[in-house]
Structure 1
Amino acid sequence: MSETRCIEIEVFIIRMIIGLISFIGCVWHVSDVSGIYFSYETDVNVYFERETMVQIPGVTLCMNSSLLVREDYIVKRFPEIYNLTSFKDSKYYVLGQYLHQLTLYEQLFKATYRYSDVFNSCLTMKPLAYENDPNELNDYIRCERISPIREYITYSKKCFFISSQLLFEPTDRYLVDHDITLRDNGFPLYQIKLNNQFLDQTVMFIQSRSTPFLGFIGGQSNGIHLNNSKYDSFTFSYVKTSTQLLEPPYRTMCRDYNEIGYKTLSHCIVSCKANYFIAEFNGWHADIPANGEYRLQVQYAPIRLKENKTLDKLMADRCGLACSKMEDCYREYYELNTIGQFERTDEQQMLGIYIYLPNGMNTKYFHSPRLHLIEYICYFASVFSLWFGFSIIAISKALIKAYRYYSCRRVKSVNEVAMISQ
């Protein structure tokens, strides 16, 4: 074997070894990068921002239902009530007990006072949708112009949900043109006045306007109790925190519950528990707020059932299968801060609630992919370039050389054929 041939073999072996090492390193590097991408991890980005367009939140006010009972309706349905000795001593307690003997439909729409009776007035700062409305010349409009006041009832409370967006009402009804960074924030976003005669143990919640009122069983536990016997008005401000998760396959594993007819996971769970009680006990769960979206031709199930922890666990397991346990892709949380409370005078027959524009920064937690597809492709290409020296210039030169080589081979073949034919 010639010396030149031996050298060519040695060079070939060295190239094979280097190529094998490069291939192994490249595979390891690519698998490492692929592991990051296909694990679908996320990074949490935190933003602090002031609203340039104030978004009107939902507000729910709950009162003791016994004070909202229409005595005339109860007496018409149960004439014997006036013969009870206890009626004179504890009138509202007796009215409440008879109220619970009615169907939820009667309780909600006939036997208790409605929004128009309980509220003296409810105003909110004029949103974008009404800026050019000739019928709304003031800076404030009635709350019911934005959306209907939705009413709910539980065993002990009747609640009123203001500024809801449950039927996909236009968003411009809930946007107020007020840049809180530059504008004066000493204006109330809400001005609410309630008739004090109907109030006892009043609780106020501030919540996402796109989620039904679900009560404590649905996780709405940030209510503030208003002492209407001692104070005649309250002023509040609020801050908002929102979270944005990613759907599968990302690890946050969120779900858009609108796809199955619900607003949130809690909405699905509460609806499932309500339907479970109706199916199993032919009655309504005492702590679940009921409104027109449910079948209300039922009465309350025995109170002892809502206190049964074994039953609650059974319902939780069943509803967990029906709704899943995946978190909501988007959630809003509100925190109310009391600015002031003013002592009552004998002349005041109303309770004033004033919720001011937020003057702080909202917090937003936004999950994003740790490695986007375009980043993964770039990593993939750079790894190959690192281990094999690929580049656009090198590849273009190789293509030119290959083209020239095969062109020469083709010309040579043609010449050989021509010589043979001669």
Structure 2
Amino acid sequence: MVAINDKKKSNGRLVAMGCTYEPWIALLEQAGWKTHCCYDLRTADAILEEYSPCVCIVDLSNNDFSLNSISQRASKTKHVKWIAIIKKEQLKIDSICQFINNFCIDFFSTPIPTSQLLDTAGHQLGMLEIESTSWADENYQCEVGLYGESKSIKHLRDMVKRVSMTDVNILLSGEQGVGKELIAKTIHKLSKRRNDDLTIINCSSLSDSDQRTCFLDPQKNMDDSGIIKSGTILLNSVEELSTSLQLKLLNHFQQPENEKLNDQGCFDVRVITSSSVDLEQAVKNNTFNKELYYRLNVFHVAVPTLRERGADIILLAEYYLQKFSKEYSTRSMHYSEEAKQLLLRYNWPGNVRELINQVKRVSLLNDSNEVNLEHFDLPKKTNAKQSLRTIKDEAEKDVLVTMLETHKGQVASAAKDLGVSRATMYRLLNKHNIIPDVRYYNGGYAAE
């Protein structure tokens, strides 16, 4: 924890939104913090951008600001730790609780316990310093499909960071289009092999005589020029390997490490594999080597589907819309609320790849500033082969989304209208990965 009374260790930046010049602000400044009190939201964006990384304390106790406006700023800011100040009775307001849950690392109710607030601000300054070591990778992660704030993508980011610095065998699994190849690129980029090549091999195109399989045979590797000797190899669709190549790959993993090196000791290849099928079931069906499966599955990374990522769908759609607008030199666009609801309701069988293609199409063909329903080329009919459970789940999800939209994101009101308890409502929202995020609902809130 940062010592508040140690000026040399502080030098933090703090933005106080809606706060009068109170004693705790003076104490922060005495401890070496650079503070800025902001009362005009029109200048808040520029201030937060200038001060970032920083701690932002927002006073919601007097309802001076639109909660929706504050939420929009909180969702866009990077490297900002948000702390809310509220009145105790405001904890009964769903929109306030949702804002704290979505964006804040802590909150305090009036009267403010000054010492605790100062300790929290100091601790968050320390967290910002620690987190700054990984910020250099954020743009890369955004590009490769690790962008988002859902629980599933945060868990995926954590696993990728943990496994990247090791040399264990990695099996990436997930539906087609979820970004397994992009995840492999991230692992390579963050690994100690980042300065070597990443070679991607599609197993469906491999034959037993293909020279690209020579990395599995160190004796051939010693003599053949142009053969992979170091770096990372990604075997895409590993389930497509022939029986003989499966045995060859198994033999590679079974060799002692010293036998995998050539005379110059430079044969040092890390193997990552990916699959879009259930390899465990393939083992049961005797179509995939059991021992090889256990060798590959040392560290299993399951890449979530897009439909499991909730509000990330909107974040990704907005990110790629801006990306393609710049790439194709088209006008800057935004999504209508109807378009956002369509994106959230659609099942996305092609996952992130399908979303990217849809946004690319919109960027190329839309001549207006707003993206509406008619700009998407999405199927008008549902898949007739869907199971009864899938149809029921999708209908249940549609009802929940519609109710939240009707009640402007207020969970308690939506639950009452549905005739269920608030606890049941939250269970259903968690089941379908729906976040009643104030960013995606129009209209007023109790706290606004």
The bucket for the TM-score relative to the shorter chain is under 0.3
Larger fraction in helix: 2
Higher relative contact order (CA 8 A, sep 6+): 1
Larger Rg: 1
Using the size of structure 1 for normalisation, the TM-score is: 0.19
Using the size of structure 2 for normalisation, the TM-score is: 0.18
